[in-house]
């Protein structure tokens, strides 16, 4: 029987070793959260890096680690710390990530990290080749592994390979600045199906293929040698039921079952029932626009002093890639901004910003989603943004307002939210004003539509659509070859 092999940089769990004891914690992040629901349901194997480098694994513990991962249907690729530096912190996060999010000035083009990216991609490809049979379906994920499809294809010409990019694919004018642009495209074209979150990313990709490789492109089919590669958009959904059920359970919690965070939120709500809680949740990443959001909050408080003591912004910034200098600088900038704004506006009874720099357990995430009146998400660029969808899913009484950046892929499907340009403080300030004053009935009417859509296009549907399209593509290709 054929199996599905999922392959991504990180596994669905991260391992830690403490005094020789192995513990596994769920990975945080869009890809992990979304694919976990797919993986837990079926007969699939997930290949990725465990999060531990070779020198962090004590000799003799490797078999235990393999066993711990096998419990989660996972198998690891071993990486040295030099490989993690060059491949992950280097080429993936200092070259591709900034470039694909239009932060050209942050992109570093270093031959050495490109070479390591290639060799680590080969390691991932080898790990697949070791486990895969010809009739298996291989689903490769994201920008860290763009060369893997071609590397697998060379060895197994008949296997089905799908690739999904979780981040934006930039316009040709941006992409062409990459010194290894042709190699990256050729790597991706080892797939039978290449998926993006939005139609725009798909278009940008096709335009780069046409102009850089001079291949024949018809609608969303690419003709290369005797193969046809399909390109399509699959907007990723969330595990709607999981968020919905967690929120319902949260609603029913008795006082003593409530978390410390929830008790604190309840206390503030009881003291100031008219005050509004604004919520911002992101990995601490420059693409998420956290610093701009803080500046916009300051702009709003200056423009609308009547809302002093009446709004509170909760910022959850999840630590991410803290080895990369830009992320360290951003952390410093955000710390300073929060300190400055709180210093400027706080009163004895009010601190305008609550700032958490950590990852929270899922239960606390639900506390925040369900307790905050407004979710305020203003990425400068974002492939999709699942937080926006999760917030709406948890609103059991359908109240709550979502303010969302037009630059997030999810904005395409969330027209009923208040869409803003993250660079336009005036527009953001107006949206905040509108959100704070939006009648309950209007909130419910907007969210009813959004919830219906999110429930229908959930992550399971997303994965099924991708898989069905991949299988159809394989059949079409076989027919094309036999013509
Ligand atoms: C990439 C793309 C695309 C966040 N904080 C905590 C926590 N989370 C979970 C959220 C959500 C996920 O992490 C974040 O997903 P996003 O989509 O918002 O963002 P990225 O991590 O940048 O993901 C993005 C995504 O891939 C999927 O394709 O949408 O554009 O950049 O699920 O719930 N979870 C827990 N504690 C936290 O503190 N437990």
DSSP secondary structure letters along 391-418: HHHT-TTS--EEEEETTBGGGGG-TTSE
DSSP label at residue 270: H
Alpha helices in 372-439 (DSSP H): 386-393, 425-436
d(CA 253, CA 241): 18
Inter-residue contact 184 to 223 (CB < 8 Å): no
Q: Residue 202: what pLDDT?
A: 98
Residue 412 has pLDDT above 80, yes or no: yes
Ligand 1 binding site (Cβ under 6 Å of any ligand atom): 28-31, 33-34, 166-167, 236, 281, 283, 316, 318, 359-360, 362, 365, 382-387, 390
Q: Residue 24: what pLDDT?
A: 87
Q: Average of pLDDT values for 397-403?
A: 98
Please give the helix or strand (H or E) that residue 301 lies within, else none: helix 290-303
Q: Per the structure block, which two tokens stand in for 178?
A: 């990459």
DSSP label at residue 323: T
Residue 253 has pLDDT above 80, yes or no: yes
| E runs forming strands in 167-211 | 193-196
d(CA 457, CA 263): 34
Q: Residue 5: what pLDDT?
A: 94
Question: pLDDT tens digits, residue range 63-108?
Answer: 888 998 998 899 999 999 999 999 999 999 999 999 999 999 999 9
**CA-nearest residue, atom 19 of ligand 1:** 30
Largest CA distance in the chain: 78
First to last CA, the chain: 28
Q: Which atom of ligand 1 is nearest to the CA of 288?
A: 22
Q: Which atom of ligand 1 is nearest to the CA of 166?
A: 28
d(CA 371, CA 88): 36
Residue 118 has pLDDT above 90, yes or no: yes
Q: Average of pLDDT values for 2-16?
A: 89
Q: Higher-confidence residue: 481 or 207?
A: 207
| E runs forming strands in 20-167 | 21-26, 44-53, 74-79, 137-141, 160-164
**Phi, psi dihedral angles at 322 (to 5 degrees):** -70, 0
Q: Residue 36: what pLDDT?
A: 73
Ligand 1 center from residue 411 Cα (angstroms): 16
**CA-nearest residue, atom 21 of ligand 1:** 29
pTM of the model: 0.96
Q: Residue 30: what pLDDT?
A: 64
Q: Which atom of ligand 1 is nearest to the CA of 26?
A: 39
Ligand 1 center from residue 12 Cα (angstroms): 13
Q: Which atom of ligand 1 is nearest to the CA of 360?
A: 38
**CA-nearest residue, atom 39 of ligand 1:** 362
Q: Average of pLDDT values for 352-361?
A: 95
Residue 37 has pLDDT above 70, yes or no: no
Residue 44 has pLDDT above 80, yes or no: yes
Residue 198 has pLDDT above 70, yes or no: yes
Ligand 1 center from residue 234 Cα (angstroms): 17
Of the candidates 464, 26, 32, 454, the one whose C-alpha atom is nearest the C-alpha of residue 243 is 454
Ligand 1 center from residue 385 Cα (angstroms): 7
pLDDT category at 39 given cuts 50, 70, 90 is confident
Ligand 1 pocket test, candidate residues 164, 384, 405, most atoms within 8 A of CB = 384
Contacts for 123 with CB less than 8 Å, ≥ 6 apart: 77, 78, 79, 83
d(CA 347, CA 338): 15
Ligand 1 pocket test, candidate residues 10, 12, 25, 30, most atoms within 8 A of CB = 30
pLDDT category at 162 given cuts 50, 70, 90 is very high
Q: Which atom of ligand 1 is nearest to the CA of 409?
A: 30
For residues 421-451, one letter each, b for 16 or more C-beta atoms within 10 angstroms of the residue's C-beta and e for the rest, the string is ebeebebbbebbeebbebeeeebeebbeebb
Q: What percent of the chain has pLDDT over 90?
A: 80
pLDDT category at 41 given cuts 50, 70, 90 is low
Q: Which atom of ligand 1 is nearest to the CA of 362?
A: 39
Q: Average of pLDDT values for 460-475?
A: 90
pLDDT category at 29 given cuts 50, 70, 90 is low
Question: 3-class SS at 416?
Answer: coil
Ligand 1 center from residue 34 Cα (angstroms): 9
Ligand 1 center from residue 141 Cα (angstroms): 15
Q: Average of pLDDT values for 431-442?
A: 98
Q: Residue 324: what pLDDT?
A: 86
Q: Average of pLDDT values for 446-450?
A: 98
Inter-residue contact 224 to 194 (CB < 8 Å): no
Complex ipTM tops 0.95: yes
Ligand 1 center from residue 283 Cα (angstroms): 7
Ligand 1 center from residue 372 Cα (angstroms): 18
Question: 3-class SS at 152?
Answer: helix
Q: Which atom of ligand 1 is nearest to the CA of 379?
A: 30
77: β partners: 49
pLDDT category at 59 given cuts 50, 70, 90 is confident
């Amino acid at each position: 029987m054929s199996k599905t092999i999922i392959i991504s940089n990180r596994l669905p769990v991260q391992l830690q070793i403490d005094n020789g004891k192995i513990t596994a914690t769920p990975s945080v992040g869009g890809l992990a959260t979304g694919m976990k629901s797919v993986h837990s349901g079926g007969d699939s194997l997930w290949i990725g890096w465990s999060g531990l480098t070779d020198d962090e694994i004590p000799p003799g513990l490797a078999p235990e680690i393999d066993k711990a991962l096998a419990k989660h249907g996972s198998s690891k690729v071993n990486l040295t710390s030099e490989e993690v530096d060059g491949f992950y912190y280097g080429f993936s996060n200092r070259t591709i990530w900034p470039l694909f999010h239009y932060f050209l000035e942050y992109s570093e083009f270093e031959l050495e990290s490109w070479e390591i990216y290639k060799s680590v991609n080969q390691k991932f490809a080898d790990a697949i080749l070791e486990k895969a049979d010809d009739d298996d379906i291989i689903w490769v994920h994201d920008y860290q592994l763009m060369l893997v499809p071609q590397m697998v294809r060379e060895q197994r010409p008949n296997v089905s390979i799908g690739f999904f990019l979780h981040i934006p694919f930039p316009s040709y004018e941006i992409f062409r600045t990459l010194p290894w642009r042709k190699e990256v495209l050729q790597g991706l074209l080892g797939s039978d199906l290449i998926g993006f979150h939005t139609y725009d990313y798909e278009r940008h990709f096709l335009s780069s293929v046409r102009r850089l490789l001079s291949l024949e492109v018809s609608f969303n089919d690419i003709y290369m040698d005797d193969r046809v590669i399909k390109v399509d958009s699959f907007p990723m959904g969330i595990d709607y039921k999981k968020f919905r059920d967690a929120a319902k359970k949260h609603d029913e919690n008795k006082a003593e079952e409530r978390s410390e965070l929830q008790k604190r939120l309840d206390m503030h709500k009881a003291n100031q029932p008219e005050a509004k809680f604004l919520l911002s949740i992101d990995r601490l990443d420059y693409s998420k626009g956290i610093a701009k959001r803080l500046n916009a909050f300051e702009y709003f408080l200056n423009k609308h002093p009547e809302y002093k003591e009446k709004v509170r912004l909760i910022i959850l910034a999840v630590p991410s890639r803290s080895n990369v200098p830009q992320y360290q600088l951003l952390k410093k900038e955000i710390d300073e901004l929060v300190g400055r704004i709180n210093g400027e506006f706080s009163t004895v009874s009010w601190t305008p910003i609550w700032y958490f720099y950590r990852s929270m357990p899922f239960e606390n995430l639900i506390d925040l989603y369900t307790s905050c009146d407004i979710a305020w998400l203003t990425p400068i660029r974002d492939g999709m943004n699942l937080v926006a969808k999760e917030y709406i899913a948890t609103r059991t009484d359908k109240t709550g307002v979502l303010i969302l950046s037009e630059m997030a892929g999810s904005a395409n499907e969330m027209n009923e939210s208040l869409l803003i340009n993250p660079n336009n403080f005036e527009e953001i300030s107006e949206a905040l004003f509108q959100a704070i004053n939006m009648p309950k009935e209007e909130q419910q009417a907007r969210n009813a539509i959004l919830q219906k859509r999110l429930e229908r296009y959930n992550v399971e549907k997303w994965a099924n659509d991708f898989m069905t399209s991949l299988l159809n593509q394989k059949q079409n290709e076989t027919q094309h070859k036999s013509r």
